[in-house]
Amino acid sequence: MRAFASICLSVLSVLVLSWALPMLYDTALLSPLAKTHIFYSPVLEQCIYTEQIRGYDQQAAAKSEGHHADIVYKDEAGQYYDRLAFEAALPFIYYRNMEMRGLLPVTLRGKTLDRAAIEQARRVLELPARHLDGHHPPQPCLPLLESDPGQVALLYPADRFRLTEQGMLFTHADTNEEETALSHLFSTALAAQGFAFPARHVGGNFSTFKPYEGGIFMVDAQGSLFHLLRRNGEPVINKIVLPQGLVPRHVLVSESKERLWLGLVLDSQNRLWLIRQRDMALIGLDVPDYLPDAMDCKLIFDPLYLTVVTSDKALVQTTVFDLPAAERKSGDICRPFHTFRHEMSRARESWQSRLADTLFPFRLGFVQEETALLYPHLSLSRHWLLNALPFCLLLAGLWSLLQYRQSGNGLASWQGRAEAALILLTGLYGLVTLLLLKQKE
Amino acid sequence: MYRIFAGVFFKECIKTRLCMLALSVFSLAYMAWIWLGVHRLFLLDHPEIVWYRVMDLGQIPYAALAALPVTCACVFCCCQFLPEIRDERLRISLHLPCGMALLMLAHFLFGLLFLALLYLLDGLLLTLILQRHFPQEAVHMAQLTSLPWFLAGFFAYLCTAHTLLEPQHRSRLMGLLLGLGLCTPLLVKTTPGALAPALPWFALLLPLLLAGLLLPCMNFRHRRAQ
């Protein structure tokens, strides 16, 4: 019974330590690095990026002039830049600094662009993996904003809806009870347009901090896409004509002043489609190697290009397109003219990460970048065979030697062998566990 | 076995009745305080704005509840075991010819049962408080959010028992280590409902800890002291 109880406590202790010790180590020595910021420079006509590094980079330090030597500015050819040169290579990003330095308007590809033109065209759409359904706790009770509130600012509605098998059901916040008349109005209107309840996905920008209300998109039970706008309390429904083979999975809505692109559709084949505001046409983007469940995606629009930046934990990829023409047909797919992949500095090894991979044969974690949900997961040391295992072997040997000198029972007894095996398999975690559990005779 | 359980439960009921009553009253008062906090939100702002904050921004108006289960568990465990440990009565009980494991299991199960009932009451009150103001989805999310806190209470109870029963100072650290290591991930501030997928894995550790508690019990019985 003693052995059984000891095993139970040892398993628990090893699990707790495999979470706590690496976490404490990371807190003390291994500061997390943000993802690399990468752009397409219209001046250099290649990609240029900035990232924080661990350790020392002589060329970066020389460019930094003694200030923030851990921030590197480089282009895809490997050439280093200082901060001012980096900003000058990205006039569409740092246009306000450019204007202050008297470098605007700028002429690129035969177009002369001033601050107003850049501001008009610039926008960013972001689709992080953790925003996808199944990657965060569900929130099925949503607001539907009035698109014509009769004033400049948008108003937050006093009711919320949910899409169930029974229809679109509204609940009023004042009474916390269902609004049967409104529910009936919207449910009937949707059913008349062929909407099959319940919805698979609802996409919208549920905020009043935007220039106008662009409505919401709903994917029904059969995979059809519907656009719904609330205008003067009435539903305005539009069934979107989908290109052949497109089954929407997620819709990102982001209203902007230029009113050209309303958002983005991610389909079941991991393809991205821009939604044109004017006619709800879907224009495809051919982004190679994009895995939405593991990658964050960012679309950067500027007056000349559309840059799609996709990144997982270690790699960032830039795919650059000419800005899609307004007259493109729905279903057209844009092809990129430039792509660039780069291993981010956060994925590179440092002495701190190598030491961690030696000390800890495995670690238990809960947080993962691609999901807001917390799952326990064990990950093996990246250098288990070469670093962690020899270290565990050393610890097990030392423990056995110590036991032999103290009691004369090293590996001779089954208990000694079991203890050595525990340390061999779990390293420091097993050692600390035994130190705490070992009773004085 | 039934007689042992009945006897131990009766004894524990008599012994801890005041503590159980005090903790129940304290829990009710604490939940009343949480109700006041939630109610005040709706006095200060329009309901749709409160809904926006809670359901879209992820604010947790009942966040104070996180501390209640762990506090109740630690206090109850001390009330249950400290008097008998101090007066050596428990050690005498452990020498009764009825099996030490069964006897201690009955003690622990009594504690876990009381805490389960107390947490059920807290959970029910939380549901009633929120149901009045929020839609069903928000109430369901609150239940998912508070479930890890109640689970942390069970771990806190068992780990406190380990620390109290273990006679050797160094091994007491194991109780503290397990208590901190098991409760911290469950109590850490996260997105509401984010811990839900991890809960079955945590629940699996509960019987493991219960079985592991036999070790400090045996050490206690055999006076493997400092």
Percent share of chain B, pLDDT over 70: 98
Same domain, yes or no, for A137 and A268?
Answer: yes
Model confidence band, residue B97 (pLDDT cutoffs 50, 70, 90): confident
Looking at residue A344, the DSSP 8-state letter turns out to be -
Q: Are A374 and A366 in contact (CB under 8 A)?
A: yes
Model confidence band, residue A392 (pLDDT cutoffs 50, 70, 90): very high
Looking at residue A237, the DSSP 8-state letter turns out to be E
What does the alpha-carbon distance between residue A52 and residue A207 come to, in Å, rounded to a whole number? Answer: 33
What does the alpha-carbon distance between residue A163 and residue A412 come to, in Å, rounded to a whole number? Answer: 67
Q: Which of residues 347-366 of A touch B (CB under 8 A)?
A: 366
* Residues of A whose CB is below 8 A from B204: none
Model confidence band, residue A415 (pLDDT cutoffs 50, 70, 90): confident
Residue A390 predicted with pLDDT over 90: yes
What does the alpha-carbon distance between residue A324 and residue A321 come to, in Å, rounded to a whole number? Answer: 8
* Mean pLDDT in residue range A391-397: 95
Q: Which of residues 114-133 of B touch A (CB under 8 A)?
A: 132-133
Question: Is position A384 within any domain?
Answer: yes
Domain boundaries, chain B: 2-221
Distance of CA B13 to the CA centre of its chain: 18
More confident site: A54 or A376 = A376
Range A264-283 burial, b when 16+ CB lie within 10 A, else e:
bbbbeeebbbbbbbeebbbb
Residue B101 touches chain A, beta carbons under 8 Å: yes
Please, which residues have CB within 8 angstroms of residue B81's CB and are 6 or more apart in sequence? B90, B107, B161, B164, B165
Residue B85 touches chain A, beta carbons under 8 Å: no
* Residues of A whose CB is below 8 A from B170: 435-436
* Residues of A whose CB is below 8 A from B133: 176
CA A195, A199, A201, A206 torsion-angle sign = positive
Model confidence band, residue A2 (pLDDT cutoffs 50, 70, 90): confident
Number of H helices, E strands in chain B: 9, 0
3-state secondary structure of B103: helix
Residue B98 touches chain A, beta carbons under 8 Å: no
3-state secondary structure of A432: helix
- What percent helix, strand, coil does chain A show, rounded to 5? 30, 30, 40
Same domain, yes or no, for A145 and A182?
Answer: yes
AA letter at A278: R
Same domain, yes or no, for A57 and A93?
Answer: yes
Same domain, yes or no, for A57 and A25?
Answer: no
For all residues of chain B together, what is the average pLDDT?
91
Q: Are A162 and A142 in contact (CB under 8 A)?
A: yes
* Residues of B whose CB is below 8 A from A9: 174, 178, 209, 212, 215
Q: Determine the pLDDT at residue B86.
A: 81
Question: Is position A48 within any domain?
Answer: yes
C-alpha distance from residue A48 to each of A86, A94, A317, A329 (Å): 8, 13, 12, 32
Element (H, E) at A322: strand A315-322
Tell me what ipTM this predicted complex has.
0.92
Same domain, yes or no, for A134 and A250?
Answer: yes
What does the alpha-carbon distance between residue A25 and residue A441 come to, in Å, rounded to a whole number? Answer: 34
Q: Do B191 and A136 touch (CB under 8 A)?
A: yes
Q: Which of A275, A293, A142, A305 is nearest to A214 (CA)?
A: A275
Range B72-92 burial, b when 16+ CB lie within 10 A, else e:
bbbbbbebbbeebbeeeebee
Question: Is position A261 within any domain?
Answer: yes
Residue B75, token pair as written in the block = 């206090």
Residue A106, token pair as written in the block = 């700028």
Same domain, yes or no, for A55 and A147?
Answer: no
Residue B49 touches chain A, beta carbons under 8 Å: yes
* Residues of B whose CB is below 8 A from A373: 194, 196-197
Residue A441 predicted with pLDDT over 70: no
Q: Do A436 and B173 touch (CB under 8 A)?
A: yes
More confident site: A151 or B157 = B157
Percent share of chain B, pLDDT over 90: 75
Q: Are A12 and B210 in contact (CB under 8 A)?
A: no
Q: Determine the pLDDT at residue B225.
A: 47
Q: Are A56 and A69 in contact (CB under 8 A)?
A: yes
Same domain, yes or no, for A133 and A242?
Answer: yes
Residue A67 predicted with pLDDT over 50: yes
For all residues of chain A together, what is the average pLDDT?
92
Residue A159 touches chain B, beta carbons under 8 Å: yes
What does the alpha-carbon distance between residue A380 and residue A386 come to, in Å, rounded to a whole number? Answer: 13
* Residues of B whose CB is below 8 A from A5: 211-215, 218
Residue of B42, B43, B52 to mutate for A, most A C-beta atoms under 10 A: B52
Model confidence band, residue B100 (pLDDT cutoffs 50, 70, 90): confident
3-state secondary structure of B28: helix
Q: Where a domain ends, among A267, A285, A303?
A: A285
Question: Is position A324 within any domain?
Answer: no
Strands A282-285 vs A333-334: parallel, antiparallel or unpaired: parallel
Question: Is position A317 within any domain?
Answer: no
Q: Are A338 and A348 in contact (CB under 8 A)?
A: no
Residue B18 predicted with pLDDT over 70: yes
Q: Are B216 and B95 in contact (CB under 8 A)?
A: no
* Residues of A whose CB is below 8 A from B195: 374
Model pLDDT for residues A267-299, shown as the tens digit of each residue:
999 999 999 998 999 999 999 999 999 999 999
What does the alpha-carbon distance between residue A239 and residue A227 come to, in Å, rounded to a whole number? Answer: 6
| CA angle at B141 for the pair B139 and B147, rounded to the nearest 5° | 105
Q: Determine the pLDDT at residue A270.
A: 94
A107–chain B nearest CA distance, Å: 43
Q: Which of A249, A323, A245, A240 is nearest to A285 (CA)?
A: A323
Q: Determine the pLDDT at residue A435.
A: 92
Q: Determine the pLDDT at residue B41.
A: 95
What does the alpha-carbon distance between residue A416 and residue A199 come to, in Å, rounded to a whole number? Answer: 60
What does the alpha-carbon distance between residue B202 and residue A352 come to, in Å, rounded to a whole number? Answer: 30
What does the alpha-carbon distance between residue A96 and residue B11 come to, in Å, rounded to a whole number? Answer: 77
Total CB pairs under 8 A between chain A and B: 129
3-state secondary structure of A276: strand
Question: Is position A422 within any domain?
Answer: yes
Q: Are A13 and A432 in contact (CB under 8 A)?
A: yes
B107–chain A nearest CA distance, Å: 17
Element (H, E) at A170: strand A167-172
Backbone angles phi, psi at A359, to 5 degrees: -70, -35
What does the alpha-carbon distance between residue A436 and residue A152 come to, in Å, rounded to a whole number? Answer: 67
Domain count, chain A: 3
Model confidence band, residue A188 (pLDDT cutoffs 50, 70, 90): very high
* Mean pLDDT in residue range A341-363: 93
Q: Range of A110's domain? A: 37-120
A236–chain B nearest CA distance, Å: 23
Residue B226 predicted with pLDDT over 50: no
In this complex, which of A171, A435, A437 lies closest to B135 when CB atoms are compared?
A: A171
3-state secondary structure of A436: helix
Residue A66 predicted with pLDDT over 80: no
Q: Do B196 and A137 touch (CB under 8 A)?
A: yes
In this complex, which of A139, A176, A439 lies closest to B224 when CB atoms are compared?
A: A439
Residue B102 predicted with pLDDT over 90: no
In this complex, which of B55, B171, B201 lies closest to A139 when CB atoms are compared?
A: B55
Same domain, yes or no, for A111 and A218?
Answer: no
Strands A46-52 vs A315-322: parallel, antiparallel or unpaired: unpaired
DSSP per-residue string spanning B158-182:
HHHHHHHH--SHHHHHHHHHHHHHH
Residue A235 predicted with pLDDT over 80: yes
Residue B58, token pair as written in the block = 């992820």
Model confidence band, residue B6 (pLDDT cutoffs 50, 70, 90): confident
Question: Is position A309 within any domain?
Answer: no
Question: Is position A296 within any domain?
Answer: no
Residue A374 touches chain B, beta carbons under 8 Å: yes
Q: Which of residues 199-218 of B touch A (CB under 8 A)?
A: 201, 205, 208-209, 211-215, 218
What does the alpha-carbon distance between residue A64 and residue B65 come to, in Å, rounded to a whole number? Answer: 50
Same domain, yes or no, for A279 and A383?
Answer: no
Please give the residue of chain A at the shortest CA–CA distance from B162. A9
Same domain, yes or no, for A250 and A133?
Answer: yes
- Lay out the sheet containing A234-239: strands in order across: A201-203, A216-219, A225-231, A234-239
Same domain, yes or no, for A186 and A261?
Answer: yes
Model pLDDT for residues B51-76, shown as the tens digit of each residue:
999 999 999 999 999 999 999 999 99
Q: Do A437 and B171 touch (CB under 8 A)?
A: yes
Q: Which of residues 143-162 of B touch A (CB under 8 A)?
A: 144
What does the alpha-carbon distance between residue A233 and residue B109 come to, in Å, rounded to a whole number? Answer: 57
Give the CB-side neighbour count of residue A146, counting CA atoms within 13 A. Answer: 15
Same domain, yes or no, for A405 and A395?
Answer: yes
Residue A65 predicted with pLDDT over 80: no
DSSP bridge pairs for A342: A316
Looking at residue A268, the DSSP 8-state letter turns out to be T
- What percent helix, strand, coil does chain B show, rounded to 5? 85, 0, 15
Range B28-66 burial, b when 16+ CB lie within 10 A, else e:
eebbeebbeebeebbeeeebbebbbebbbebebbbeebb
Q: Determine the pLDDT at residue B35.
A: 96
pTM as predicted: 0.91
Q: Do B174 and A19 touch (CB under 8 A)?
A: no
Q: Determine the pLDDT at residue A364.
A: 95
